Amino acid sequence: MNKYHFWPEETVKKDGFIVIACTIENIDQTRKKLWYKLPEQYHDRITSSCDPFIVALIFKLMTEPAKIVVHGQVSPSLLQNITEYQAIWQCWRPDYYHSVEINAEIEAEISVDNRPNNPISAFSGGVDSCFTLWQHKKGLCGRWQRNITTGLMIHGFDIPLSQTEVFASAFEKSKRMLSSLDTECIPLSTNIRQFKHQWLDTFASAVISCLMLFQKSYQVGLIPSSEAYRK
């Protein structure tokens, strides 16, 4: 059977930033690098697990019959949950997606003993993310209440990677908004969207992938809602 190979790379530090990357070997043996870039000061918060890479590309992987081989560490809990996740999408779109087998050289959960209980939330600066932060900070979430301490703003999704000045301006505005609520704002760039997949299907898992980079340091990751329960 055809195979995809995931080859995690050593983290690179350069010009005040770090780059976390994984080389993806496609079934035709061509290679492409998936990467995340953020300020060097957050290096200690980043996981060494390959979980984020799998989540980022799961929709691409589900479009072709192939085995996935990860030459690094993956959480058993992720492998279990992503099996069910694939089954759901195969049910919804059987004409396009099917389940794939994922194997890792190392199956091990990350250490969680020292993680604080404060969550990290995706933050775009738009209505949904602002409302999510405000709602939690004002104690309006009942039993779902979380003390959000960090917002993650992602470059490469709504704002293309080529628009560096546009993102820099948007980030400064978001940073000021979050600061007013005693919340830090972390900028992160990634080329996830440059891989071939159905973006409307992939978007949520792409956001989750970015949040999972910080699973070493946060127990909870939040995604602001953009769809109402009742339509």
List the chain pLDDT tens, one digit each, 231 residues: 789 999 999 999 999 999 999 999 998 999 999 999 999 999 999 999 999 999 999 999 999 889 999 999 999 999 999 999 999 999 999 999 999 999 999 999 987 767 667 899 999 999 999 999 999 988 888 898 888 999 999 999 999 999 999 999 999 999 999 999 999 999 999 999 999 888 999 999 999 999 999 999 998 999 997 667 676
Give me the half-sphere count of Cα atoms (radius 13 Å) on the Cβ side of residue 83: 8
Residue 153 sits at φ, ψ, to 5 deg, of: -105, 125
Q: What is the sign of the dihedral through the CA atoms of 39, 186, 217 and 199?
A: negative
CATH code of the domain occupying 3-107: 3.30.420
Residue ranges covered by each domain of the chain: 3-107, 120-222
**pTM as predicted:** 0.93
Residue 16, phi-psi category: left (phi > 0), alpha (psi -120 to 50), beta (remainder): left
